[in-house]
Amino acid sequence: MPDELNICLAALFLNKGKDVLTAKEFTMYVSLDLRWMPIKDADALMKVLIKKGLMSKTGDLLKPLIDTSIVDVPVAYRPSEGLIKRLRDDTPEPPATKKSDGSSNLLSLLIGEALKSGMEKGAFVSECNKISKKMDVNMEVAAMIILKERGADVAPFFDSVRSSVLR
Range of the domain at 147: 103-166
Over residues 134-146, the pLDDT tens digits come to 888 888 888 899 9
Q: Are 142 and 157 in contact (CB under 8 A)?
A: no
pLDDT at 104 (0 to 100): 62
> CA 42 to CA 87: how far, in whole Å?
9
pLDDT at 107 (0 to 100): 81
pLDDT at 137 (0 to 100): 85
pLDDT at 91 (0 to 100): 55
Q: Are residues 107 and 51 in the same domain?
A: no
Domain count along the chain: 2
> CA 134 to CA 155: how far, in whole Å?
23
Q: Look at residue 37 and tell me if it is in a domain.
A: yes
Q: Look at residue 95 and tell me if it is in a domain.
A: no
Q: Write out residues in the chain with pLDDT < 50, as ranges.
A: 1-2, 93-101
pLDDT at 97 (0 to 100): 39
Q: Are 44 and 87 in contact (CB under 8 A)?
A: yes
Collapsed DSSP state (helix, strand, coil) of residue 146: helix
